[in-house]
């Protein structure tokens, strides 16, 4: 009896494996005129005064031996320009609600020092301030996104910052800007009104914050009435749908350019796990948390639709990414972590979610750009490396400002310990030259996946592919092996009379281009 049971079990188990290997996911792409354009700002980044993101990361000072332009590392500028970063959020994060911008302008020797209350208690000399950041954005050819201080700042202070950066006529703040060496305004478009107002930004209730928002937004005129500034509300903590509901209900829509959502992929806030040394179970839990993004943007979007059916107000996921324990031996307040193939899969799948929700999600900011959390760049003194996440952002840049091609498919399941996740993630777009780009992620850590896509009616014939993968899920780029994970040519597909038959290896990210 026992033997019969065993044979039956083995037979069933093998059958399932064979079935799983044979199963093909049919992905359908729709050429839909009404589909939205994928806003390039979905590929945005975030730079906070935190750990070694600004000081010792972007900014080394103009007396450094590391090649720099006005104190900003040239190698970082070049790497980010290659990514075509569309926008950069600064100065925080939690730091933003402690930051008084007037401390960071004028002659260096007169700038006061401050203590970074949230991140490691370090003392900063304010050598990187408004001019340094906005001039750096010009070098990067990227749009600045400034986060204003609501928690410990005043309405006047934020209104003055707008006047200082944006007003070209004569005024107290534009005169001060000119005195500090900048004649022309920078014309900053994106303005955050506080950050995480429910937490480090002041522990406010949604109702209280909505009132504060209205007050701050009223006085943040762009001073020339060109309609040039976008006011962005500090959004919900992950699945706090009440926050979105209250803000949408209480803030007049003409005062609200966008509303944020913050969501980090974390296994457990009390036990986040190592960034490199992790098990498949931990990988699964990270991906479970990351893929929750689909539910979050859908549900927050549905609430926004009730008040704003024309989708005039943007949703901004202005902090997202994987969050692990800090690298052993580093300052716990600096949030420095390595970046493996897990992060590449996380980035690819999350960006697919944003692309597919491009009708409402019009900006997203990966946290954070350099040396913090899911960074695209890591530095060690004069050395600089790019991470697997950098390479995902780079091969996905083709979607920036391209027209979404909505995808539909039934994903096979990736199962670990009886829990399941969709194994396949996909999005597609058509760029202004008519080229088609399809990005595919295999979330499954063990099994390859077969995918079939009918491309006959898309007006393109020749396909090429790029893949990001590695031997092990835990692989990463180190300062000794900086190019272990880089995009390579992907040959795992065939175009059979307009049907693409693709086999995508476990934990890999692929972009196909059709011309």
Task: Check binding of 196 to ligand AHR (CB under 6 A).
Answer: yes
184 catalytic? Reply is: no
Closest separation between CB of residue 27 and ligand AHR, Å? 34
Closest separation between CB of residue 365 and ligand AHR, Å? 9
Please say whether the dihedral angle defined by the alpha carbons of residues 217, 218, 220 and 222, taken in this order, is positive or negative. Answer: positive
Site for ligand AHR in 306-365 (CB under 6 A): 319
51: left (phi over 0), alpha (psi -120 to 50) or beta: left
Catalytic-role residue among 82, 196, 310, 501 = 196
452 catalytic? Reply is: no
Query: 432 phi and psi, to 5 degrees?
Result: -70, -15
Task: Check binding of 195 to ligand AHR (CB under 6 A).
Answer: yes
Task: Check binding of 150 to ligand AHR (CB under 6 A).
Answer: no
**Which residue(s) pair with 385 in the sheet?**
378
Q: How many residues bind ligand AHR (CB under 6 A)?
A: 10
Closest separation between CB of residue 118 and ligand AHR, Å? 7
Q: What distance lies between CA 500 and its chain's CA centroid?
A: 30
Closest separation between CB of residue 186 and ligand AHR, Å? 23
- Of 167 and 216, nearer to ligand AHR (C-beta) is 216
CB 213, CB 251: distance < 8 Å: yes
Around Cβ 107, how many Cβ atoms within 10 Å? 7
Instruction: Give the residue ranges of DSSP H helices in 308-401.
Output: 341-356, 388-396
Task: Check binding of 97 to ligand AHR (CB under 6 A).
Answer: no
Closest separation between CB of residue 254 and ligand AHR, Å? 27
Cβ within 8 Å of residue 33, ≥6 positions away: none
CB 46, CB 93: distance < 8 Å: yes
Q: How would you classify the pairing of strands 87-90 and 143-148?
A: parallel
The residue behind tokens 């996740």 is: 421
Task: Check binding of 92 to ligand AHR (CB under 6 A).
Answer: yes
CB 348, CB 392: distance < 8 Å: yes
Closest separation between CB of residue 195 and ligand AHR, Å? 5
- Of 323 and 396, nearer to ligand AHR (C-beta) is 323
43: left (phi over 0), alpha (psi -120 to 50) or beta: alpha
Residue of the chain from 72, 80, 94, 345 that contacts ligand AHR (CB under 6 A): 94
- Of 39 and 195, nearer to ligand AHR (C-beta) is 195
From residue 364 to residue 393, the character string flagging contacts with ligand AHR as x (rule: CB under 6 A) and all else as - is ---xx----x--------------------
Tokens representing residue 98 in the block: 């402690």
2 sits in which H/E element: helix 2-22
Site for ligand AHR in 99-128 (CB under 6 A): none
The residue behind tokens 């209104």 is: 159
Q: What angle do CA 416, 265, 272 make, to 5 degrees?
A: 80
From residue 30 to residue 69, the character string flagging contacts with ligand AHR as x (rule: CB under 6 A) and all else as - is ------------------x---------------------
Closest separation between CB of residue 70 and ligand AHR, Å? 25
Cβ within 8 Å of residue 455, ≥6 positions away: 29, 436, 463, 495, 498, 499, 500, 514
Q: What distance lies between CA 319 and its chain's CA centroid?
A: 6
- Of 228 and 332, nearer to ligand AHR (C-beta) is 332
Residue of closest CB approach to ligand AHR: 93
459: left (phi over 0), alpha (psi -120 to 50) or beta: left
Q: Which stretch binds ligand AHR (CB under 6 A): 91-99, 207-215, 288-296, 445-453?
A: 91-99
Closest separation between CB of residue 285 and ligand AHR, Å? 19
DSSP 18-43: HHHHH-EEEEEE---TTPPB--GGGG
Task: Check binding of 275 to ligand AHR (CB under 6 A).
Answer: no
Tokens representing residue 35 in the block: 């589909």
Q: Which stretch binds ligand AHR (CB under 6 A): 64-72, 90-98, 486-494, 501-509?
A: 90-98
CB 207, CB 250: distance < 8 Å: yes
Residue of the chain from 93, 388, 406, 412 that contacts ligand AHR (CB under 6 A): 93
Catalytic-role residue among 319, 494, 501, 513 = 319
Q: Which stretch binds ligand AHR (CB under 6 A): 24-32, 57-65, 88-96, 486-494?
A: 88-96
- Of 92 and 104, nearer to ligand AHR (C-beta) is 92
Q: Residues interacting with ligand AHR, by CB under 6 A? A: 48, 92-94, 195-196, 319, 367-368, 373
The set of catalytic residues is 196, 319
């Amino acid at each position: 009896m026992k033997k019969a049971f065993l044979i039956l079990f083995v037979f069933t188990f093998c059958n399932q494996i064979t079935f799983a290997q044979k199963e093909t996911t049919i992905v359908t792409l729709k050429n839909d005129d009404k589909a939205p354009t994928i806003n390039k700002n979905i590929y945005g980044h975030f730079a906070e005064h935190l750990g070694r993101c600004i000081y010792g990361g972007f900014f080394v000072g103009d007396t450094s031996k590391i090649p720099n332009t006005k104190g900003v590392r040239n190698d970082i500028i070049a790497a980010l320009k290659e990514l075509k970063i569309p926008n950069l959020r600064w100065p925080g994060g939690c730091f933003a609600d402690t930051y008084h911008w007037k401390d960071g302008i004028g002659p260096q020797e007169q700038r006061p020092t401050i203590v970074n209350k949230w991140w490691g208690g370090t003392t900063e000399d304010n050598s990187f301030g408004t001019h340094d950041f906005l001039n750096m954005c010009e070098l990067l050819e990227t749009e600045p996104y400034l986060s204003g201080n609501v928690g410990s700042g005043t309405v006047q202070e934020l209104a003055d910052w707008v006047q200082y950066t944006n007003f070209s006529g004569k005024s107290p703040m534009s005169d001060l800007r000119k005195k500090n060496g900048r004649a022309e305004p920078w014309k900053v478009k994106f303005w955050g009104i506080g950050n995480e107002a429910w937490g480090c930004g002041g522990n406010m209730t949604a109702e209280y914050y909505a009132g504060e928002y209205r007050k701050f937004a009223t006085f943040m005129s762009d001073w020339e009435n060109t309609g040039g500034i976008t006011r962005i509300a500090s959004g919900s903590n992950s699945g706090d749908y009440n926050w979105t509901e209250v803000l949408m209900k209480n803030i007049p829509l003409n005062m609200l350019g966008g509303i944020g959502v913050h969501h980090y992929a974390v296994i457990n806030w009390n036990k986040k796990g190592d960034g490199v040394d992790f098990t498949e179970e931990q990988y699964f839990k990270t991906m479970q948390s990351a893929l929750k993004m689909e539910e979050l943007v859908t549900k927050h979007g549905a609430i926004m639709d009730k008040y704003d059916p024309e989708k005039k107000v943007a949703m901004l996921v202005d902090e997202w990414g994987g969050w692990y324990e800090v690298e052993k031996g580093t300052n716990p307040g600096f949030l420095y972590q390595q970046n493996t193939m897990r992060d590449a899969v996380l980035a690819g799948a999350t960006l697919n979610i944003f692309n597919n929700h491009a009708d409402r999600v019009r900006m997203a900011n990966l946290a954070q750009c350099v040396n913090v959390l899911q960074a695209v760049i890591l530095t060690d003194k004069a050395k600089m490396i790019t991470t697997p996440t950098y390479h995902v952002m780079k091969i996905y840049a083709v979607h920036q400002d391209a027209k979404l091609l909505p995808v539909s498919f039934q994903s096979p399941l990736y199962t670990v310990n009886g829990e399941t996740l969709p194994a396949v993630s996909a999005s597609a777009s058509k760029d202004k030259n008519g080229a088609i780009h399809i990005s595919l992620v295999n979330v499954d850590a063990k099994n390859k996946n077969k995918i079939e896509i009918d491309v006959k009616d898309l007006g393109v014939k020749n396909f090429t592919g790029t893949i990001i993968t590695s031997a092990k899920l835990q692989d990463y780029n180190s300062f000794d092996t900086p190019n272990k994970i880089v995009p390579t040519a992907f040959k795992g597909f065939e175009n059979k009379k307009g049907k693409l038959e693709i086999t995508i290896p476990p934990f890999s990210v692929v972009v196909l281009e059709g011309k």
